Amino acid sequence: MTATQPKGGPLARQAAMLCRDVRFRLYLDRRRRHKFGLSEQDLPDGTHNEQDAREWLCAACSIESRAELDHDRQAADTFRSIGQRFGRWKLQQGGRP
């Protein structure tokens, strides 16, 4: 890590765990299908992998590294909003928040 790269903290760790979560990646699959009107045949469950989730999260939060979440208030707010939407989706699916 260079001196110009921020060091990750609690939010960066949460983001890494989220990207490893199979349910979050399923959420991304279903979210994308809904957003673009795709069928499950076009975009099957299990399409998003951990790297895809990381890239999506960074793009959604307008950051290049998850470590920035601990240093950029707007990115952190966006990340928290994503987490809340994912939590609501899990509840709708009958899962724990």
pLDDT per residue over 76-91, tens digit each? 999 999 999 999 999 9
Q: Which two tokens stand for residue 92?
A: 């709708």
pLDDT tens, 35-73? 999 999 999 999 999 999 999 999 999 999 999 999 999
| Whether pLDDT at 94 is above 80 | yes
The domain ranges of the chain are: 10-38+48-92
| Whether pLDDT at 24 is above 70 | yes
pTM greater than 0.85 (yes/no):
yes
Do 53 and 63 touch, CB atoms closer than 8 A?
Answer: no
The pLDDT assigned to 8 comes to 85
75 Cβ contact list (under 8 Å, min separation 6): 61, 62, 63, 68, 69
